[in-house]
C-alpha cells in the first residue's frame, strides 16, 4: 500500500496561463513580464503560481492537445533574451506583426512570425558544443530526438498529421528514417535548439520564483494527442491499429456541459501494456514533469479509475462505454518518479464509488469549484460548509466562465442562491465575495484565477468546452497588476491565515 500524501499547509495561489501574460510579442513568454508577475505574487503574499500545460499546441491552440507530452511550447521562449544573447536584433523584433489586439493572442500571426525569428536565432547560435546543451540532450534523450524528428517531418509535409505521411515514415521504417535524417539534420537541430532555449529560460524563471517563495503548480493532461511525437514514436503505448489509426478515443459522456458529450479524440492507453512494462512511459513522463513543477495537477483523474471509450469515427461522444482503469497500481508504480513534487487530483464531475475509493487511497487532495456549488435544486459537495481540509478550492477553472460572467449567464435561481449564501447585496462586490468565501474555507489551498481578482466578465474566459474559435486567446492587460490590487489580495490572504510560514518547505518538498 502506497504512503498517502500529507495535507498541504494552508496557503493560496493564483491561476494564470503563461500564454496570458502581457508581452510585446503576441503571447506571454518567460521574459521580464513573467518576472514582474512573480514579484506581484510575492507582494500579494501568495505561495503558488498555477499554470496550464506548457506543451507545443496544435490545431485549435489547446494546451491539452499538444505535439508532445514532454516538449515545451516554443511560443514561450522570450525573444528579448535572445536579443541580449546577440542572436536577434531589435529591428528584427519590431518589423513583424504580432496581431492587432494586445489583449488577444493571434495564433495565425504568431505562427507566421515566431518561427522565422527563432530560425534566425538558431542560425547564429553556437550552443551545440556547450556543456549546458550537451547535458540537456543527455537528460532528455528519451524524448528529444523523437520529438525533433517528428516536428521536422511535420514541417516537411506542410503540417499534415503523421497519419497522412508516406507509409514507411508513418510506420517508422528504419531504413527510411535513416535516409531522411541526413536531409533534415538542420531542421532536427533547430527543434532541439528551441527545446534547449525553452528549458533554460523556464528553469531560470522557476529558480527566481523559488527565491521569492513561490511554488509552481503545473497541469498534466492525462491523454497524449493523436497527432503527437508520442503516438508516432511509441505506438505500442496506445490503443491503435497496426497502421497507427486509433481504435477507440477519449472523451466524456453527455453532461451539463454538453448534451452530446465531449469528443476529445485522444488515443487511449493500452493499460495492459503499461502494466506489463511497469508503467515505464508514465514514469518517464512524470519524472520529466517533476523537473518543471513543484505540484502536479493530474487532469481527468477519474480516467485512472475508469475511462470513457468512444469508437473512432463517431461524430459525438454519445455512444461510448466505460472501462476499468489501472487504479491504485498506477500510483503505486509511478509515485517515486515525482520525487519531492506533490499531486493534486482533478476529480470534478460525477464521481462513482471506484473514483472516490481511489482518491482516498492515494490521499492527495481533490478539487472544489465554487461555481459548481450553487445548484439551487440540491445540496452540493462544492458548498464550502461541506469541505474537509484535504482539498483545493477554486472559484473557477480554465473551463469555467469568470465569476462576474457566471453571475450574468447562470440560471436566476442559482445566482439567487449564491447571493443568499454569500450575503451579496451589490453586483460590483460579487466577485470578491466568492474570492473571500474560498479563502475563508477550510480547504488547504485556495487558487483564484486572476480574472476573478480583477472582476472581469466573460470576455476574459479562457475556454468554453466543446467549442472552437475564441478559446485560449485571453491576455492580461499590461497595467492590470497594480500595487492597490496586490495590497487587497495580501490583506485577504493574511486575514484568513493563508500566508503560510511553511511555504519554503512545500517548495523544497
Q: Which residues are the active-site residues?
A: 299, 346, 399
Burial category of 471 from C-beta neighbours within 10 Å (exposed 0-12, middle 13-18, buried 19 and up)? middle
How many Å apart are CA 271 and CA 268, to the nearest integer? 9
Length of the chain: 509
Q: Which residues partner with 74 through β-bridges?
A: none
For 387, residues 6+ apart whose C-beta sits below 8 A from its C-beta are 368, 393, 441, 442, 443
Q: Which residues partner with 11 through β-bridges?
A: 445
The crossing angle, in degrees rounded to 10, of helices 412-422 and 430-440 is: 60
Across the beta sheet with 391-394, the strand order is: 342-345, 295-298, 215-220, 48-50, 11-15, 445-449, 391-394, 366-369
DSSP strand E in 299-376: where? Answer: 306-311, 321-324, 342-345, 366-369
Q: Say if residues 12 and 439 touch (Cβ distance below 8 Å).
A: yes
How many Å apart are CA 164 and CA 134, to the nearest integer? 33
Q: Which residues partner with 250 through β-bridges?
A: 309
Q: Say if residues 285 and 70 touch (Cβ distance below 8 Å).
A: yes
Based on DSSP, count helices (H) and strands (E) in the chain, helices before strands: 20, 12
Q: Say if residues 49 and 206 touch (Cβ distance below 8 Å).
A: no
Residue holding cell 494564470?
Answer: 16
How many Å apart are CA 66 and CA 58, to the nearest integer? 6
How many Å apart are CA 390 and CA 388, to the nearest integer? 6
Amino acid at each position: 500500500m502506497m504512503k498517502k500524501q500529507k495535507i498541504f499547509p494552508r496557503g493560496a495561489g493564483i491561476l494564470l496561463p503563461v500564454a496570458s501574460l502581457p508581452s510585446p510579442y503576441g503571447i506571454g513568454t518567460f521574459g521580464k513580464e513573467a518576472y514582474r508577475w512573480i514579484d506581484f505574487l510575492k507582494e500579494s503574499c501568495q505561495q503558488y503560481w498555477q499554470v496550464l500545460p506548457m506543451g507545443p499546441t496544435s490545431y485549435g491552440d489547446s494546451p491539452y492537445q499538444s505535439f508532445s507530452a514532454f516538449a515545451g511550447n516554443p511560443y514561450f521562449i522570450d525573444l528579448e533574451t535572445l536579443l541580449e544573447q546577440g542572436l536577434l536584433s531589435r529591428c528584427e523584433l519590431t518589423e513583424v506583426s504580432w496581431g492587432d489586439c494586445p489583449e488577444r493572442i493571434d495564433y495565425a500571426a504568431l505562427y507566421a512570425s515566431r518561427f522565422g525569428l527563432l530560425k534566425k536565432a538558431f542560425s547564429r547560435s553556437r550552443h551545440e558544443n556547450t556543456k549546458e546543451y550537451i547535458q540537456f540532450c543527455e537528460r532528455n534523450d528519451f524524448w528529444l530526438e523523437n520529438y525533433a524528428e517528428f516536428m521536422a517531418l511535420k514541417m516537411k509535409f506542410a503540417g499534415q498529421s503523421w497519419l497522412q505521411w508516406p507509409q514507411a515514415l508513418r510506420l517508422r521504417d528504419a531504413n527510411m528514417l535513416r535516409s531522411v535524417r541526413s536531409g533534415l539534420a538542420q531542421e532536427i537541430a533547430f527543434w532541439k535548439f528551441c527545446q534547449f532555449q525553452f528549458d533554460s529560460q523556464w528553469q531560470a524563471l522557476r529558480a527566481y520564483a523559488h527565491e521569492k517563495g513561490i511554488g509552481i503548480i503545473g497541469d498534466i493532461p492525462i491523454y497524449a494527442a493523436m497527432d503527437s511525437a508520442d503516438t508516432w514514436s511509441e505506438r505500442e503505448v496506445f490503443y491503435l491499429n497496426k497502421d497507427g489509426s486509433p481504435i477507440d478515443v477519449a472523451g466524456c459522456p453527455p453532461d451539463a456541459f454538453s448534451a452530446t458529450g465531449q469528443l476529445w479524440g485522444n488515443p487511449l492507453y493500452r493499460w495492459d501494456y503499461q502494466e506489463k512494462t511497469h508503467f515505464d512511459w508514465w514514469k518517464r513522463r512524470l519524472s520529466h514533469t517533476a523537473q518543471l513543477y513543484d505540484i502536479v495537477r493530474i487532469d481527468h483523474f477519474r480516467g485512472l479509475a475508469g475511462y470513457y471509450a468512444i469508437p473512432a469515427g463517431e461524430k459525438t461522444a454519445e455512444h461510448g462505454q466505460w472501462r476499468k482503469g489501472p487504479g491504485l497500481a498506477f500510483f503505486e508504480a509511478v509515485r517515486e518518479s515525482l520525487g519531492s513534487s506533490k499531486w493534486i487530483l482533478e476529480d470534478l464531475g460525477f464521481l462513482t464509488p471506484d473514483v472516490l475509493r481511489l482518491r482516498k487511497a492515494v490521499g492527495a487532495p481533490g478539487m472544489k469549484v465554487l461555481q459548481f456549488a450553487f445548484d439551487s435544486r440540491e445540496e452540493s459537495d462544492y458548498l464550502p460548509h461541506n469541505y474537509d481540509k484535504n482539498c483545493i478550492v477554486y472559484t473557477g477553472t480554465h473551463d469555467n466562465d469568470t465569476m462576474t460572467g457566471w453571475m450574468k449567464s447562470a440560471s436566476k435561481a442559482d445566482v439567487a442562491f449564491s447571493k443568499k449564501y454569500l450575503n451579496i447585496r451589490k453586483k460590483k462586490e460579487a466577485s470578491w465575495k466568492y474570492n473571500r468565501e474560498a479563502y475563508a474555507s477550510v480547504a488547504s489551498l485556495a487558487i483564484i484565477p486572476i480574472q476573478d481578482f480583477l472582476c472581469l466578465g466573460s470576455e476574459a474566459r479562457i475556454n468554453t468546452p466543446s467549442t472552437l474559435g475564441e478559446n485560449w486567446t485571453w491576455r492580461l492587460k499590461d497595467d492590470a497588476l497594480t500595487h492597490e490590487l496586490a495590497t487587497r489580495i495580501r490583506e485577504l490572504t493574511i486575514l484568513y491565515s493563508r500566508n503560510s510560514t511553511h511555504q519554503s518547505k512545500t517548495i523544497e518538498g
